Structure 1
Amino acid sequence: MARWADHAIWWHVYPLGFTGAPREALPAGSEPQHRLARLEGWLDYAVELGCSGLLLGPVFAAETHGYDTVDHFRIDPRLGDDADFDRLVAAAHDRGLRIVLDGVFNHVARGFGHPEWFRREGGDHAVFEGHRHLVALDHDQPAVADYVARVMSHWLARGVSGWRLDAAYAVPPEFWARVLPGVRQRYPDAWFAGEVLHGDYAAYVARSGLDTVTQYELWKAIWSSLRDGNFFELSWALERHDELLGSFVPQTFAGNHDVTRLASQLPDERHLAHALAVLFTVGGVPSVYYGDEQAFRGVKEQRAGGDDEIRPEFPADATRLAPHGWPVYRLHQRLIGLRRRNAWLVRARTEVEHLTNRAMAFRSRDDEGNQVLTLLNTRDDPYSFPVGIDGLRVLDSSSPDGKAPWPTVPPHGWAILGQ
């Protein structure tokens, strides 16, 4: 993994939704609509949040939602043109922010210019997960591998730092193993993250040559354990997560562009902080999905337009955000700041030290003797954790003054202790 990625904390943005772009591609010959400039206006917000880069959803010419690409070498005219993109990259770099792009290389739109690269299945073109307008590429064809390598290199040369590879789980890992070495030779600091939902994450990373994959097991356990009052699920997921860190650093998150918002998953809004405490005190390369830092709500539905709620337009500037979201933004700032002051956490190994359905203590450590102890209580009464806290102080907590009879945690409270 590129060394800079050890310090990466992403603000994950879906540009077509964020900028209020129309659902459908513009008519042929239309002038570009320079919406990427709106994203420039939010870069300082991302910096103040504590993030070090933008993880951008699709920006390439597409027919509708961006995952139906027609030309990977062209910025979607709904967002702008090459000049708009170059300005965004320059503005981000001026603020110390990196940019990672979303590469949809498993499937394309039917209007993609190389139908000879479509994979055939049963006498027809293969499609992605039943979506007839998303046609699968034939990853056995050398021309497809060459095309993907050229696309990656083109945008890396334009200043991006890496790639999120959409639906990587549907692509044979050996395809990436053929593509990436040549790209890495030219851009050795590039970072490659694959979208993998389930299965053997470590084996996929090893066979593909990717730096990381998305940690959906941990994502699900974070909100589900809090919603259901079952920290045993989170404990199991953290044990699995710890094993993964023996071979690679997972890409971690509590929300993204494909799932119901965290604030909508949790019936008790006090537990949003517990979820973030987990995200920022265990190993991984974390990302925050735009709007989650303002406690946006939104439910994903399995229907046409079912992603609209979770991919909303952002206002013109931060003054137009709802007042109730700013305490959650400040909570993110605090915990991201804690994470950045303890950058060793990216590779930390975690052990659960105490566990009940609604009370949990886990300790994250590295080989240098650094440690952080996270205490989570979702009970209606105070809970005294039978764990050692010698030499530790409170780094952050649910108590406004940081004072409590630690390791006793107030009802529905939390604390992070460290050196």
Structure 2
Amino acid sequence: MTPTWLADAIFYQIFPDRFAMSARIDTPRHLEQWDAPPTQNGFKGGDLFGAIERLDYLQALGVNAIYLNPIFQSAANHRYHTHDYFQVDPLLGGNAAFAELREACHARGMRVILDGVFNHASRGFFQFNHVLENGAASPYVDWFHFKDFPIDAYSKDAPNYEAWWNLAPLPKFNHANPRVREFLFRVAEHWMREGADGWRLDVPAEIDDDEFWREFRRRVKKINPEAYIVGEIWHRADRWLKGDMFDAVMHYPFTRACISFFTDADEPTRELTRGHSYGDIAPMDAPAFARALEETLAWYPPEINFAQMNLLDSHDTARFLTLARGDASALTLAWLLMFTFIGAPTIYYGDEIGMLGARDPDNRRGMEWDEKKWNVGLKDQVIKYCVLRKKYSALRRGEFKTLSAQGKVFAFARHLQNETIIVALNASRETAAMDIPVSRLLEDATRVKAEWSNEEHIVRAGHLWRVPLAAREGKVFVSVTAMQ
């Protein structure tokens, strides 16, 4: 079973070093200027106390779950190079900061998901460093995959041990070693007992051992049956979604479809997406987009689909607004689709105020807190869509039906009991008048009313006839029965 709360979740992804800086950490630090272009290795000084101070902001947006990029002690600003899995990085405020953040979030009904890096460690990880110092004589020599000695961990050549993407700073664990497995399971258990609400798993496909993940799930769910386990898998993921490993995955096939339909998906856009595992980007019309969405829904049972982490971008991709070359209408249309689709919508920090960012590290800029520089219109849209999703159960738990897909105009319905919600999206740059077949859902003479306007339509001969859509416009219609 997947967690019952996932259908109601609206996630906000925080990259801790870049989200918010507090005055509660007074250790002298040499930091990169907050508003300067981010560099690969620079630290800007965001911390978990800063995130606590911005919870009012997040709650006002309407989000109710936070996904944190790694927070454990590390020598990297992104903290995917873990030194100590049991210590929150002191630059983030240490363990006390996480405890305070957890309590503050839970008091607001917000959940906190941690990022688990269990495929590889770092050169600063104690057991690896022990082997670095002692060579083959170290009792930890079987924690990793060494080819020969002495270990060459700092030359520019390929390392003489297995490492993620052959990168020397990221030595890969030997997951066949029972002591390694037990260590990693204890890490997962420890932070569950500390109040984390689940794990986002970094590159879990690299751990090619299903029994490892089955035991991981057993350990985590024993502590909290409602814990969320979501894997970073960029493609179809049946192997991990049979109920014995993950609850869901980050839904990058959804991301790819949205980029292809709502942006121009031209060469500049494709150049920014090359090298990412969601595959090649190419322009999509509405029929292709509908097929792509329906295909992803057909991959998995409904309870998996309702638990999926839907997203438009992340710390690993260019920001959606940058892929759209600043076209805010592309982002608002994609958001409307995401907030009315099956699965949990996810906002990457700063997207809601119009932040831009190309490839890493540019997509990890310091959060803009100067409100004069915000795109307030975008932020208002996010708030509006959060309210909409919370208002109608059909948007969170209802079935999905494609109603019409022609050219660049797409309409679908979400239906649950007496609630029927119809969403119409015009991704073209021309006005459209759409005939939407609804006979499978609504009887003739049924009235539907638009959210956010006084527009009404009556079902006649099984259709909503000539529904007007401006260029790059989306509308949401609700049956009067549902509104009552």
TM-score of the two chains, using structure 2 as the length reference = 0.76
Gaps of 5+ in 1: 27-32, 301-306
Secondary structure of the structure 1 residue equivalent to 2:59: helix
For residues 346-366 of structure 1, the C-alpha deviation after alignment (integer angstroms, 9 at most, x for no partner) is 344323222233111122234
Partner of 2:350: 291
Shift of residue 236 of structure 1? 2.5
1:156 maps onto 2:185 in alignment? no
2:299, 2:395 → 1: CA distance?
14
**CA distance change for structure 1 residues 208 and 171 in 2, over 3 Å: closer, same or farther?**
farther
The reply to whether residue 276 of structure 1 matches residue 326 of structure 2 is no
> What's the secondary structure of 1:218's corresponding residue?
helix
- Partner in structure 1 of residue 475 of structure 2: 415
Q: Which amino acid aligns with 2:401?
A: E
1:175 Cα deviation (Å)?
Answer: 1.6
State the secondary structure of the residue aligned to 1:385: strand
Tell me whether 1:18 sits opposite 2:76 in the alignment. Answer: no
Structure 2 gaps of 5+ residues are 22-30, 33-39, 129-139, 149-159, 265-282, 439-445, 458-465, 480-484
- Distance in 2 between the 1:25 and 1:61 partners? 16
CA distance 1:357–1:132, shift in 2 (3 Å) = farther
Structure 2 counterpart SS, 1:177: helix
- Distance (whole Å) between structure 2 residues aligned to residue 298 and residue 414 of structure 1: 25
Distance 1:89 1:207 in 2: 27
The residue type paired with residue 17 of structure 1 is R
CA contact (8 A) 1:149 1:180 kept: no
Is 1:385 the counterpart of 2:434? The answer is yes
State the partner residue of 2:482. Answer: none
**1:89 and 2:143 correspond:** no
Classify the secondary structure of the residue corresponding to 2:400. strand
Query: Following the alignment from structure 2 to structure 1, what is the Cα–Cα distance between the partners of residues 396 and 234?
Result: 21
1:404 shift after superposition: 7.8
Counting only pairs closer than 5 Å after superposition, residues 153-232 of structure 1 correspond to structure 2 as 153-172=189-208, 173-198=210-235, 200-206=236-242, 208-228=244-264, 230-231=284-285, 232=287
**Partners of 2:19 and 2:46 within 8 A in 1:** no
Aligned residues of 1:169 and 1:197 also touching (Cα < 8 A): no
**Superposed displacement of residue 326, structure 1:** 1.3
- Secondary structure of 1:58's counterpart equals coil
Counterpart Cα distance in 1 of 2:257 and 2:59 = 29
Moved more, 91-100 or 63-72: 91-100
Task: String of CA shifts for 1:283-328, please: whole Å, max 9, x gaps.
Answer: 012211110111111001xxxxxx222112225xx4x234442110
What is the aligned partner in structure 2 of residue 29 from structure 1? none
Q: Find the partner of 2:425 among 376, 390, 395.
A: 376
In structure 1, the partner of 2:450 is 394
- The answer to whether 1:120 aligns with 2:145 is yes
Q: Do the aligned partners of 1:25 and 1:63 also contact (CA within 8 Å) in 2?
A: no
- The aligned amino acid for 2:70 is P
161-170 or 118-127, larger mean C-alpha shift: 118-127
What CA distance in whole angstroms lies between the structure 1 residues aligned with 2:195 and 2:436? Answer: 47
Q: Which amino acid aligns with 1:309?
A: D
Q: Percent identity?
A: 25
Is the Cα contact below 8 Å between 1:245 and 1:349 reproduced in 2? no
Following TM superposition, by how much is the alpha carbon of 1:391 offset from its aligned partner in structure 2, in angstroms? Answer: 3.7
Q: Residue 280 and residue 119 in structure 1: after superposition, are their counterparts in 2 closer, same or farther (change >3 A)?
A: same
Query: Higher Cα Rg: structure 1 or 2?
Result: 2
Query: What is the one-letter code of the residue matched to 1:11?
Result: Y
2-structure distance, mates of 1:208, 1:122: 34
Q: What residue is the counterpart of 2:272 in the other structure?
A: none
Q: Secondary structure at the match of 2:87?
A: strand
1:335-384 deviation per Cα after TM superposition (whole angstroms, max 9, x unaligned): 11111112443344323222233111122234x35332211113333212
Amino acid at match of 1:15: P
**TM-score, with length taken from structure 1:** 0.88
Structure 1 vs Structure 2 CA RMSD:
2.4
The count of corresponding residues between Structure 1 and Structure 2 is: 398
Match of 2:387 among 331, 337, 362: 337
Match status 1:262 vs 2:320: yes
CA contact (8 A) 1:280 1:335 kept: yes
Q: Is the 8 A contact 1:245 1:347 kept in 2?
A: no
> Are 1:38 and 2:50 matched, yes or no?
yes
